[in-house]
Amino acid sequence: MAATKRSIEPLLWVLFSAGGVLAALLIPVLLLLFGVAFPLGWLTPPTYEHLLAVIGHPISRVVLFLLCMLSLFHFAHRFRYTLYDGLQIKHLNELINTVCYGGAIAGSIVAGYLLWQI
């Protein structure tokens, strides 16, 4: 029986899907607080000690790492197909894949390093 060549697409789709769920649930509130509310003075930002304690908690580290890694893969997968469908630049496929997924991997490594160190 000849074995069919397995595609990696299902795995990439699962990462995309999980990333989409986490990003949808967590990023809006985080961006609202740290991107808009604190900078514009609507709410007082947390003290350094409090934020350090929150981020440094083991559960936070794991959740933040998963959020970062999966959201980056969500972006990589979706953006790759947007360039493919939206701009019709199929001939640049290999370059696009390398940049998108490579960027996601690089970002995940940075996230892992920072969250380990803190």
Partner 1 sequence: MNQTDRPIYTEFHPRWYRPRTSTYWWLKRPSYLLFIGREVSSAFVAWSIVYLLLLIGAVHRGEDDYQSFLRWTSSLGVVLLNVLSLFFVVLHAATWFNLAPQAMVLRYKGKRVPETWIAGANYGAWAFLSLIVALIVLL
Q: How many angstroms separate the CA atoms of 64 and 113, rounded?
A: 12
Residue 39: φ, ψ to 5° = -60, -35
Our finding on whether 112 is near partner 1 (CB under 8 A) is no
Closest by CA to 108, choosing from 73, 60, 63, is: 73
Question: In the window 43-102, what residues touch partner 1 (CB under 8 A)?
Answer: 43, 45-46, 48, 51-52, 54-55, 64, 67-68, 71-72, 74-75, 78-79, 81-82, 86-88
Instruction: Compute the Cα dihedral for 16, 20, 23, 28 and give only its sign.
Output: positive
CB of 31 to partner 1, least distance (A): 5
CB of 38 to partner 1, least distance (A): 7
Q: How many angstroms separate the CA atoms of 82 and 71, rounded?
A: 16
Return residues touching partner 1 (CB under 8 A): 19-21, 23-36, 38-41, 43, 45-46, 48, 51-52, 54-55, 64, 67-68, 71-72, 74-75, 78-79, 81-82, 86-88, 107, 110-111, 114-115, 117-118
